[in-house]
Chains A and B, each alone.
Chain A
Amino acid sequence: MTAPMEPTSQEALSIVKLEDICKTYVTGELIVPVLKGINIDVMRGEFVGILGSSGSGKSTMLNILGMLDVPTSGKYLLERQHVETLSDTELATIRNRKIGFIFQSFNLFPHLSVEQNIEVPMLYAGVPRKVRRERAIELSRQVGLGHRLGHRPTQLSGGECQRIAIARSLSNKPAFLLADEPTGNLDEKTSADIIKLFHELNASGSTIIMVTHNPALEAHFDKVIYLRDGRVSEHQNINFGGGPDVGE
């Protein structure tokens, strides 16, 4: 879907565009504004990091980006289509087809095999069994775990689990990957491997948005968005055009 694109090309298509997104939580009489007008633009093929300390609105941002939550106001354009007004069912379909979720704690289903885990999003997309299986094999190879298809997640290490989770996120060829602190539960060495995998995917055309509190990772992103107190405090474009050395 996302053919590798010349990084310098200016006509790079917009994948995600948030315009003046606000999110206010109302709990009883307490009104808590969490996001106060967020504007970001993620282009196809970018590796974007959203950094912020806890309480900065990072999680809310992630939920809105992942369409698990709807903004109070503002516009959300996914591949130049408005999605902020869609129904729950339509949102579920978009999450399924357009977004590849990667969680901090992997969120694999412990009683399903690796192959079955990778197949889950395809299950909800109604992909026939045979096709699912072929794609699961292909994806597991892509993340380097082709030999582990029959295993259960409990038999795998943390790093391997996250690889499977990444394979799963790719199964419906989404518009972008949305990773929530993907290295948060991993040791340094494994983290580096996972980041390396992300770079590989990015290099082969995947658009990736990674939400993290870890400033050490910012060197890896094409673009870094700093969240502070519900606002974008800095919007840095660094190394657009080539990743840093991986495996630091």
Chain B
Amino acid sequence: MLVSDLFRLSFHNLLLHKIRSLLTSLGVIFGVGSVISMLAVSEGAKRKALSQIEAMGIDKIIVYSKKPPLAGKDSSTSNASFTETYGLTVRDRKHIVRMDNIDHVTPVRDSRFKVMKGTKRLDLKLVGVGSEFCLDSGCHLLKGRWFKPVDFVNIRNVCVIGERVKRKMFRIGQRDIIGLSIRVGRHLFRIIGIIGNDHGTQYPELGSPNDMIYIPMRTSEAICKNYAFVREGRNAKVTIIDYDLLVVSVLDVTHIDNTAKRITAYMRKTHTETKDWGVLVPLDLLKQRERTQNIFTIVMGSIAGISLIVGGIGIMNIMLASVYERRKEIGTRRALGAQKRDILLQFLIETVFLTSLGGIIGIGVGVGISQVITIYADMPTVYEAWSIILSLLISGFVGVVFGTYPAWKAAQQNPIDVLRSE
């Protein structure tokens, strides 16, 4: 039998029972749909996470201060020591700047002032930053300007605010806030610019750059030196901390691991008492995240794959029933000269057609599901060409796997028996 005739025959048979064909392939439709949407969601999540990490900069090493596990050790509880010193020091910064492969180091220091709006405390931070911070943190200017060298030199009381600061501090309708002043504690700062960060960057211990009010480092040093009063319950404490964050830019990304190791070694050597610091390499994080995302994708894919198997079993069931129902047809075809192979191929192609058709519809369903997820769950979804091709191949493959047995069963029908069974 000619192959083209076989295809035509199988297709014809499917069209005979449109509703049944559709119902039969429902399993595959939703199986493929879930594969597509799962992959799209996980790919979207992956991209988002990666861009977050990437925004911190793949040529950056983040060195940060960390509150030691047991602040002030035992002495603080018994002795009620009021000062607490930890974190990165000026010495650390100066040393790191002089290391090999370092381009520049941008310091960040939290003033630990409470930012208030009326009597309400806002979840905002007033931080002193170096002049390169805007660039190094992947932020972009939304309005106004970033600090000029003159702001640093003259220790001006100016500030640049993060995107969300505006929303939290000012009325919704308020348009032009450049030039206005905000008050933090006893200090007034004139707003000169607004910056934003779209990547969802999160700095350890500090959080998002969108929730910060930036002032020049020198201003910060001038108004509060390097200590801050912190009230913890009934105890008032003085926290002495030079820098909360050092954003280290390297010259050559290929050696970033070595540089990070050297910084780590240095920090370990100088901060012997407690581990009050941390080193973060976004590139490492990126690689690690990629690995975990891949595992996530595999797990999601497997779950979706199970639904495909269920769909396949459904198809196998229907095809087996169909073989029984069409025994007379099979017997007649065999009597008229169809070989076992012809019958086998006819049924197999029918099943593969069915599952492939289900696969095509399933891709549409999957895209639809992902759109719904994107709209209602606010999760980014990304389809990739390979996931669509893969789904098509898998649905065809499901047809072959689950169609073979029914097709074989059909081919094995004894024409005498089936012709007699009228």
Residues of chain A touching chain B, judged by Cβ–Cβ distance below 8 Å, are 59, 63, 66, 68-69, 88-89, 92-93, 95-97, 101, 103, 105, 107, 109, 111, 120-121, 123-126, 128-129, 168, 172
Contacts and interface: CB of A to CB of B under 8 A. Distances in A.
A67 to B, nearest CB: 9
B332 A124 contact: no
B337 A93 contact: yes
B268 interface: no
A120 B336 contact: yes
Given A101-B336, A125-B337, 11 more contacts: A66-B335, A68-B415, A69-B416, A92-B337, A92-B338, A95-B335, A107-B331, A107-B335, A107-B419, A111-B12, A124-B336
B339 interface: yes
- Of the listed residues B5, B9, B331, the one surrounded by the most CB atoms of chain A closer than 10 A to its CB is B5
B2 interface: yes
Nearest to A69: B416
Contact of A101 (B12, B335, B342): B335
Interface of B: 1-2, 5, 9, 12-13, 16, 328-329, 331-342, 415-416, 419-420, 422
Contacts of B5: 123, 129
Contacts of A68: 334-335, 415-416, 419
B335 A124 contact: no
B332 A107 contact: yes
A121 B334 CA distance: 10
Contacts of B334: 68, 92, 95
Contact of B1 (A89, A123, A128): A123
Given A68-B334, A68-B419, A124 B339 contact: yes
- Of the listed residues A88, A96, A101, A172, the one surrounded by the most CB atoms of chain B closer than 10 A to its CB is A96
Nearest to A119: B5
A92 B339 contact: yes
B337 A172 contact: yes
A113 to B, nearest CB: 11
Contact of A97 (B332, B333, B337, B419): B337
B342 to A, nearest CB: 6
B10 to A, nearest CB: 13
29 contacts: A63-B416, A66-B335, A68-B415, A68-B416, A69-B416, A88-B339, A88-B340, A89-B341, A92-B339, A95-B335, A96-B336, A97-B337, A101-B336, A103-B419, A107-B419, A109-B329, A109-B332, A120-B333, A121-B336, A121-B337, A123-B1, A123-B2, A123-B5, A124-B1, A124-B338, A124-B339, A124-B342, A128-B2, A172-B337
Contacts of B342: 124
A42 B338 CA distance: 26
B332 to A, nearest CB: 4
B332 A103 contact: yes
A58 to B, nearest CB: 12
Contacts of A96: 336-338
Contacts of B416: 63, 68-69
A172 B342 CA distance: 18
A168 B332 CA distance: 12
Given A68-B419, A105-B422, A126-B2, A93 B339 contact: yes
Contacts of B336: 95-96, 101, 120-121, 124, 168
A153 to B, nearest CB: 12
Contacts of B16: 111
A79 B5 CA distance: 31
A92 B340 contact: yes
A201 B148 CA distance: 108
A107 B420 contact: no
- Of the listed residues B1, B337, B419, the one surrounded by the most CB atoms of chain A closer than 10 A to its CB is B337
A183 B33 CA distance: 54
Contacts of B337: 92-93, 95-97, 121, 124-125, 172
Contacts of A97: 337
A164 B89 CA distance: 100
Contacts of A105: 422
Given A59-B420, A88-B340, A126 B333 contact: no
Nearest to A104: B422
Nearest to A90: B339
A55 to B, nearest CB: 14
Contact of A126 (B1, B331, B420): B1
Contacts of B12: 111
B334 to A, nearest CB: 7
